[in-house]
Amino acid sequence: MVGNTPLIKLSDEITGTPGITIYAKAEFANPLSSVKDRLALSIIETAEKEGKLKKGDTVIEATSGNTGIAVAMMCAQRGYKCVITMAEPFSVERRKLMRMLGAQVIVTPKAGKGKGMVDKAAELAEKHGWFLCHQFETDANWKIHEETTGPEIINDLAKINAKCDYWVTGYGTGGTFHGAGKYIKENSPTTKIVLSEPGAAALIDSGIQTKRNDDGSPAETHPAFAAHPIQGWTPDFIPLVLEKGLAMNGDNKLMDEYVSIPDGVAVETSMKLARTQGILTGISGGATVWAAIETAKNSAKKGDVIVCMLPDTGERYLSTPLFASIDADMNDAELKIARSTPSFILEPN
C-alpha cells in the first residue's frame, strides 16, 4: 500500500495561472497518510536485510511526527517495539497516533528544538542497544524516493503525454528532494527542481553549513534557524541527506530554483485547497502549493506542467494554527439555519 500515490490536477481557481497546469502529488494516500511511510518502509526493510533487526527488537527515532507514525506502523506490523522522541511544540494528535500504534513517546523540551530530540534518541539508543533509524543521515531515506516517488511522477505524466517542466518540494530530512530529484534529473533533464523553505528559517539560503558529529548528525543548532509554523519542514539543522543532494553539481545539480515561504501563506493556501479543491492537506502541503503557484507566476510559460508535493493530511494539524479559526460549536449563521425549521430545540446549558 505504500507509494503509487495519485497526481491531482489543481483548478485555475486556486492557481490563478491559466495555461499552466499544476499537479499535486497526494502523499496522504499512503496508508498512514504521509510521505514518511516510504521512508519508514525503506529504513526497516534495509535494516532487516542487513541483519540489524530481529523480531522483538526495539526501534527508536527522533521525529516531528509523520516519520514516527510511519515507523510505529511498521513496528506494529513486524513485531518490533517502538520508542519515539519528539520535541514538545509538535501537535499532540501526532503523539496520540503513535501511542495508538503501540509506540512509546518521549517528549523533549521545547528549548532543545529538533536537535534536542535527535540527541535524546541517540542517547537512548546507545544506552539500551536499540536500533536507531537515523532518518536524517541514512541513504535508505533518499533511495526509496529514487526507486518510487521519482518514477511515479515521470511515469504518470507519460501516460497523459505530458512532461514535467518544474518539480516543487520543501524539505524535512531532504529525502524526497534528494531521491526523487535524482531520478527526475536523470530521466527528465529539462525539468527544473524548485526547493522551498520558510523565510523565518532560511538555512539553505544562508549558505552556512551545519557542523556535524562523526555519524553525520548535527553537532549544533544552525545559526539561521528561527521558529516557524511549517511542522515537518526545516529542522534547526541541515540534514545530511539534504546536504548530499545539494552537493550534487554539474549535470547532476538538483536545485535549480529556490522559493522562500513568507509567514502566513502556508496556512492560507492549505485552507484554500480545502475550500476550493476538496483537498485536506497539512501546512507543509499549503507551503508547497504556494511555492508552485509562485513558480507558475514567475518562471513558467504557457503550456508548462508543474508538479508539487502534498506531504501529509490536514488531520495531523487539528491543534495547530491551521485549525485555529475553525470552531467546534455552531456560529450565528449555522444557528439561524438550525432554527429555520420547527424541530430545532436548544438544550439548556
Report, as residue numbers or ranges, the catalytic residues: 36, 284
User: H or E element: which one contains 104?
Assistant: strand 104-108
Residue type, 28: F
Rounded to whole angstroms, how far apart are CA atoms 108 and 44? 24
β pairing state of 305-310 and 257-261 = unpaired
In the DSSP assignment, the letter for residue 144 is H
Rounded to whole angstroms, how far apart are CA atoms 108 and 86? 6
Instruction: State the CB neighbour count (10 A cutoff) for residue 54.
Output: 11
Contact 144, 38 (CB under 8 A): yes
CA distances from 266 to 41, 62, 223, 260, 348 (A): 28, 24, 23, 11, 40
3-state secondary structure of 293: helix
List helix spans (H) across the chain. 12-15, 36-49, 66-78, 92-100, 113-128, 139-144, 150-159, 175-187, 203-206, 240-246, 265-277, 283-298, 332-338
CA distances from 344 to 104, 171, 339 (A): 45, 49, 5
Rounded to whole angstroms, how far apart are CA atoms 183 and 187? 6
